[in-house]
Structure 1
Amino acid sequence: MSSDTFDGLVAIVTGGASGIGAAIASMLRDRGADVAVLDLDPSTAPEGTLPVTADVTSDASVRAAIDTVTSTWGRVDIVVNNAGIGAQGTVEDNSDEDWHRVYDVNVLGVVRTTRAALPYLRLSPSAAIVNVSSIAATAGLQQRALYSATKGAVQSLTVAMAADHVREGIRVNCVNPGTVATPWVDRLLDSATDPAAERAALAARQPHGRLVTAEEVAGAVAYLAGRGSGSTTGTSLAVDGGMSGLRLRPAT
């Protein structure tokens, strides 16, 4: 079997009904996986996937969703922890309730989904977990204190999970996307005073001069989840147009 196919494997994608998650679910499906989309509203899950209602802030809901997947296909081989929510503001702008809510989704959502899937992953000959972190985990972005803290936690959690489970044959990695053209970003732009100027600014801060596409992130996830990456674990893969590492001179 070639490294870029997933025939015979079952994948779970949280937050897979739209945006980056939908692109990931579609790509894994197209490459042969049976894909379950776990989402609060899975009605827009990509065609050919299994839509499963799940709330990653509820352990019972996540476990019920995993039971649905295993009742359907009898196994879990790949978990993509993509579900997440955003937050804006400096460290003084968000309430304690905001901090608890965003951590509950972005960090504990990863914990709950992984915890429920681990008994099945341990039985898989091709077990892989890919967490979706962010450029915000490694770069200081203005007005993103809470969001950045959660994504930094996801990146640290990825390394810890990789160490805990590598000898069980379970690989754990994460992707760190830059600013991606998704409905969530579109909503942020729509609320800006000058949406066109804000979009231009977001594109310009990424060295390749444009927003990242959801499909580019999906390609990175598929690479990390694939059997051809059997020696890759505990890694963070930036998909950010060079934003995390490049320091270009101003354009003339």
Structure 2
Amino acid sequence: MNNMLISGAASGIGAATARLFHARGWRVGLLDVDERALTALAAELGGAWHAPLDVVDGAAVKTALADFCAQSGGRLRLLFNGAGILRTGAFADIELEQHARLVEINVLGVLNLCHAAYPYLKVTPEAQVINMGSASALYGVPQLASYSASKFAVRGLTEALELEWREHGIRVGDLIPPFVNTPMVRSQAQRPAVMQRLGVRLEAEQIAEAAWKQAHARRVHRPVGLQFGLLFNLGQITPGWVNRLLMGWLSRR
């Protein structure tokens, strides 16, 4: 049986992904800081393995990986890095500690999980990492400055590891959606102009389906949604100033 470990599993995209893969026969492991929601989801999925975890805690991440993979003969078919937080608003109006915490979770958390998972991925046929990216990694987004920066980092790590780990048979890729209707997005007090222009058109279940496709493909970047797919592909072939112009228009109130 294929197995996968999901961070940020208790709600939103992580929970939708866990439900989908479980329904299709995978053994899923669940990680999240929200212990109550995590326990409820694990029960819903028939007693799925789960552990409360702050992905910033490198030692705890290593322990969780060892515990989960020990139940599968030391193997890990898929790591899904879904843990992340969002804070919208003018950069200078957000406390520095909040920026730092966002970067810790969104970047250091991915580093911790990838590093701890590597030994188990390396010995597993068709092993794969899927990182949760974002449309904000296409060009820096006003009012999402630190979030955008964190997703640029995730994109860079994805591309580097895809090349570095290829020789070990490990595929690495990311999902790149625009705004998704999740508790994280709904909880934002401020909606940046780009969010208002593009709208919040995707549901968590659509991202889960994209994760399923990615788990059976050799693609590095997977933009999600027709609207953003066109923007992403355009951004790969147009000069940087065109992308800047487009982002400036999308961010204008």
Mapped contact 1:175–1:239 kept (Cα < 8 A): yes
Give the count of matched residue pairs: 226
Cα deviation, residue 90, structure 1: 3.2
The alignment-based identity, stated in percent, is 33
The equivalences for 1:66-85 within 5 A come to 66-74=65-73, 75-85=75-85
Q: Hey, what does 1:55 align to over in structure 2? A: 54
The one-letter code of the counterpart of 2:230 is G
Q: Hey, what does 2:87 align to over in structure 1? A: 87
Normalised by the length of structure 2, the TM-score is: 0.82
Distance 1:201 1:76 in 2: 38
Q: Is there any run of 5+ residues in structure 2 with no aligned partner, and where?
A: 235-253
Cα deviation, residue 94, structure 1: 3.4
Q: Hey, what does 1:175 align to over in structure 2? A: 175
Q: Hey, what does 2:242 align to over in structure 1? A: none
Deviation per residue, 1:179-212 (Å, 9 max, x gap) = 1111122222xx45xxxxx699847515xxx520
Distance 1:182 1:51 in 2: 21
State the SS of the aligned residue for 1:26. Answer: helix
Deviation per residue, 1:120-157 (Å, 9 max, x gap) = 10110120100001111114433100110001111111
State the SS of the aligned residue for 1:51. Answer: strand
Cα deviation, residue 165, structure 1: 0.1
Distance 2:150 2:89 in 1: 14
Mapped contact 1:63–1:116 kept (Cα < 8 A): yes
Deviation per residue, 1:203-244 (Å, 9 max, x gap) = 7515xxx52011111111111112xx1xx25x2111144136
Q: Hey, what does 2:41 align to over in structure 1? A: 45
Q: Hey, what does 1:11 align to over in structure 2? A: 4
Q: Hey, what does 1:96 align to over in structure 2? A: 96
State the SS of the aligned residue for 1:73. Answer: coil
Q: Hey, what does 2:149 align to over in structure 1? A: 149
Q: Hey, what does 1:237 align to over in structure 2? A: 222
Q: Is there any run of 5+ residues in structure 1 with no aligned partner, and where?
A: 1-7, 193-197, 248-252
